[in-house]
Amino acid sequence: MQEQYETVAHEGVHETEVNRSRFLCALAPAATEDEAQDFVRRVRAEHPGANHNCFAYVIGADASVQKASDDGEPGGTAGVPMLQMLMRRDIRYAVAVVTRYFGGVKLGAGGLIRAYGGAVGEALDTLGTVTRRRYRLGTVKVDHALAGRLENDLRSTGRAVRAVRYGEAVAIEVGLSEADLDAFRSWLADASAGTATFDLGGEAYGTV
């Protein structure tokens, strides 16, 4: 399983110009293929007069869904180089739409490939990316008397506290890297004098 991936930090647009043609690359995070397709439709609706609205998206930490469209450009000169740029940069759960306004100078197949791929690369550099790492979810249960101090200790040691629930005992949900599990169990036993319990849950991706 993929240990980590990059994704788009936030939605945004970056414009480049090549031989008088304008290339506007719109990037956005997309958790599902439906979200990616909705973004493509939205960008197309914003640029009804553009010559082309080409797109590429990658969904899944393991890039299980990959789609691209040349939207009228010569086959393989737009969507594919856009997708290749996303894959080369390990970008996942993201969608790119490059809108082209033709400037009157034909770029040729090689020029189009460089322009569309380059537009995505420049947009990623400008808008920024974030790293998501695979981690395990776990729940610490501790009595109320120790909960406040233990939560503070968790945060001060850099562990990700995701939620705190109060009931008969206090349940603190944490996110941990796989490599930290054994050390965390030992730390928890010492910090709580053996009174806290720890239940390991499923996997997720985040900034842990």
Question: Hey, how many other C-beta atoms are within 10 angstroms of the C-beta on 94?
Answer: 26
Indicate the DSSP class of residue 180: G
CATH number for the region 4-127 comes to 3.30.230.30
State pLDDT tens for residues 110-167: 999 999 999 999 999 999 999 998 888 999 999 999 999 999 999 988 888 989 999 9
Would you place residue 71 in the very low, low, confident or very high pLDDT band (cuts 50, 70, 90)?
very high
pTM of the model: 0.75
- What pLDDT does residue 1 have? 63
Helix axes 79-88, 108-127, angle to 10 degrees: 40
CA distance 122 to 14: 8
Q: What is the per-residue pLDDT for 104? A: 87
Kindly state the tokens that stand for 150.
């233990």
Structure tokens at 106: 């034909």
Instruction: Provide the strand spans (E) within the chain.
Output: 4-8, 12-18, 21-29, 52-59, 65-69, 94-101, 129-142, 160-166, 170-176, 197-206
Task: Return d(Cα 180, Cα 198) in angstroms, integer.
Answer: 14
Hey, which residues does 145 pair with through a beta bridge?
A: none
Q: How far is CA 3 from CA 84, 133, 138, 206, 208, in A?
A: 20, 6, 18, 11, 12
Contact of 122 with 17, CB cutoff 8 Å:
no
Q: What is the pLDDT of residues 28-57, one digit of tens each?
A: 999 999 999 999 999 999 999 999 999 999
pLDDT, the chain, mean: 93
| pLDDT of the residue at 177 | 84
**In the chain, where the domains are located:** 4-127, 133-206
Which one of 3.90.930.12, 2.140.10.10, 3.40.50.300, 3.30.70.240 gives the CATH number of domain 133-206? 3.30.70.240
Following DSSP, what letter does each residue of 30-53 receive, concatenated? -SSHHHHHHHHHHHHHH-TT-SEE
